[in-house]
């Protein structure tokens, strides 16, 4: 069964450093998302992406964040200058055209900012 994959599974970085989280969505999906989950809290929406552009973003997704689909398979989330409060689990998700409500999540990248 096709799955969303994410790399790395864990990342530790120093405050102020840039990080790039990578995702490979399910191959025939057209809608892509990033969510985050701070330890013990809710899953929170960050951004959705369709047709090579951002379609929605939350208040969390400020100028420090950016997303990119550099090729036909990868979808990345970049945090330019990490803060301590960016420490969280970051989930990529994708959904198919015609069934876009159903989002399939990857296993997540655990980001720890020191």
Partner 1 sequence: SQKIEQNSEALNIQEGKTATLTCNYTNYSPAYLQWYRQDPGRGPVFLLLIRENEKEKRKERLKVTFDTTLKQSLFHITASQPADSATYLCALGKDSARQLTFGSGTQLTVLP
Pick between residue 14 and residue 40 the one whose CB is nearest to partner 1: 40
Sign of the C-alpha dihedral, residues 84, 17, 7, 66?
positive
Q: Which parts of this chain interact with partner 1 (CB under 8 A)? A: 4, 31, 33, 35, 41-45, 48, 50, 55-56, 58, 89, 91, 93, 100-108, 110
Pick between residue 14 and residue 42 the one whose CB is nearest to partner 1: 42
Task: Report the DSSP beta bridge partners of residue 111.
Answer: 11, 88
Minimum separation from the CB atom of position 42 to partner 1 (A): 5
């Amino acid at each position: 069964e096709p799955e969303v994959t994410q790399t790395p599974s864990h990342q530790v970085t120093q405050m102020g450093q840039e990080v790039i989280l990578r995702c490979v969505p399910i191959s025939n999906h057209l809608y892509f998302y990033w969510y985050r989950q701070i330890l013990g809290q809710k899953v929170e929406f960050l951004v959705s992406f369709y047709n090579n552009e951002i379609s929605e973003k939350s208040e969390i997704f400020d100028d420090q964040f950016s997303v990119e689909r550099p090729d036909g398979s990868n979808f990345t989330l970049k945090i330019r200058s990490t803060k301590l409060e960016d420490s969280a689990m970051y989930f990529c998700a994708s959904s198919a055209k015609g069934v876009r409500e159903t989002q399939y999540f990857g296993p997540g990248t655990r980001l720890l900012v020191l």
